[in-house]
Structure 1
Amino acid sequence: MPKEARPSTGEQAKRHAFAQLRQAILHGEMAPAQRLVENELAEQFGVTRASIRAALIDLEAQGLVERIRNRGSRVRVVTVEEAVAITECRMALEGLCAAKAAVAASDEQLTRLADLGAAMKKAVADGEPVTYSDLNHQLHDRIREISGQQTAVELLERLNAQLVRHRFKLALRPGRPQQSLNEHLAMIEAIRARDPQAAEAAVRAHLASVIDALGD
């Protein structure tokens, strides 16, 4: 059967353009301050300019794109000061999720957290910062998932998307994975001990360390 044609207009076309643009920004294929020309993007994704414009408006709402009057759109530049402010917000939300995860986690979920911790240890020992960074993101995602706090999860997804470039730079900084490993292991141990106060404190301590590293 012939492949179904992708719609060039309408809500589905906008969602397609939004997903493709968001992925390109998060994966670093579009750099901060890069201009986003509607005509070029419409041709690239096979949709109309109206669909691209609607997608850019949604991406602006997520903090990934900024629209400059009379100059069009560009990938948003997140300053260090903004990254610190976002991380301060993460402290409250991720601390909440960790506390809830410590109460809600099943034995199987606790085992999976321990497995992630072991994989993170191996990545650091093997000198694989990119693998460690991926596992780091998986750990935070898993804790949020276990927490069941959907409102916090949705807010954190938006906040974390704005920090991708800063987080990647930190992951590649010499010595940073070794430092953050112990912080992540403390988070895992507190959740496995089913101690919500200790879990929240461990997350806050970790993110305070991230803030210090951002300022270096």
Structure 2
Amino acid sequence: MTLPPAARAVDPSARTDIAQQIRDAILGGEFAPHQRLIEADLSERFHATRAAVRTALLTLENEGLVERLPNRGARVRAISIEEAVEIVEVRAGLESLCARRAAERIDDDGIAVLRDLRARIEQAVASGDLVEYSRLNQDMDRQLRALSGHATAAQLLERLRAQSARHQFRLAFAPGRAAQSLPEHIAIIDAVIARDPDAAEAATRAHLAGIVAFLRSLA
């Protein structure tokens, strides 16, 4: 007997996949701020059921990427400069904690990974490859979160980064920003490699203070 669509079991991994696909489209700029997210269109685009799309939109609403308007459905939530500044200020506390913990916990394998990453970051800036530089910076952040072993901070940071991704992308390509941020990133890596928690925390806070200053200059 074939069950009707509503009665079929829904694979939880499929729901996660749809949410991730929509999330990637939002963060990649395929959907603009305030753009309506119509369930039927998303269902067709991502080859998913309306129920799966609805569940994915609820997930993204909880993450702060989507908002629902009365009688108008869902749309991409716009993040103001003021809110982006607040997000970075919160990140400063969490990322400095992760950097400190990473410096305390790092082993020889972790040091090897960060040294390789350090070299690739420098090469990306030297070659003017800002797309690669931005990608490597995100990789560095992920590595530090993993090395910290602080699961709660890592989860919170993932959500905060998703909300401010557009402003981070704009920041990465601002004229002269790479030359300014490169030594900041290197200072964080070097402090963690040196197993110096105080220096790792201070370097992280200094880097994020620079991001706050840039965002405020856009207001």
Fold conserved (TM > 0.5)?
yes
Matches within 5 A, 1:67-78: 67-78=68-79
User: Could you tell which deviates more after superposition, 49-58 or 135-144?
Assistant: 49-58
Instruction: Please give the per-residue CA displacement for 1:1-28, whole angstroms capped at 9, x wherever unaligned.
Output: xxxxxx8956454333212211211222
The equivalent residue for 1:160 is 161
User: What code does the residue aligned with 2:130 have?
Assistant: P
User: Could you tell which deviates more after superposition, 183-192 or 8-17?
Assistant: 8-17
Instruction: Say whether the 8 Å CA contact 1:36–1:75 is kept in structure 2.
Output: yes
Separation of aligned partners in 2, 1:17 and 1:192:
38
The equivalent residue for 1:96 is 97
SS in 1 for 2:67: strand
**Structure 1 residues 157 and 184: alpha-carbon distance in aligned structure 2, compared to 1, 3 A threshold:** same
Instruction: Please give the per-residue CA displacement for 1:26-77, whole angstroms capped at 9, x wherever unaligned.
Output: 2222222211011111222233322211211110000111111111111111
SS in 2 for 1:28: coil
The equivalent residue for 1:54 is 55
Instruction: Please give the per-residue CA displacement for 1:138-172, whole angstroms capped at 9, x wherever unaligned.
Output: 11111111111011111111111111111111111
Q: Using the TM superposition, give the Cα deviation of residue 99 of structure 1 relative to its aligned residue in structure 2, in angstroms.
A: 0.3
* Percent of paired sites with the same residue: 51
In the alignment, does 2:117 pair up with 1:105? no
The equivalent residue for 1:83 is 84
Matches within 5 A, 1:124-203: 124-203=125-204
Q: TM-score scaled to structure 1, two decimals?
A: 0.92
User: Could you tell which deviates more after superposition, 42-51 or 68-77?
Assistant: 42-51
The equivalent residue for 1:38 is 39
Task: Give the gaps of 5 or more residues in structure 1.
Answer: 1-6
Task: Give the gaps of 5 or more residues in structure 2.
Answer: 1-7
How many positions carry a matched residue from both structures?
A: 210
**Structure 1 residues 99 and 12: alpha-carbon distance in aligned structure 2, compared to 1, 3 A threshold:** closer
The equivalent residue for 1:3 is none
Provide the aligned C-alpha RMSD in A. 1.6
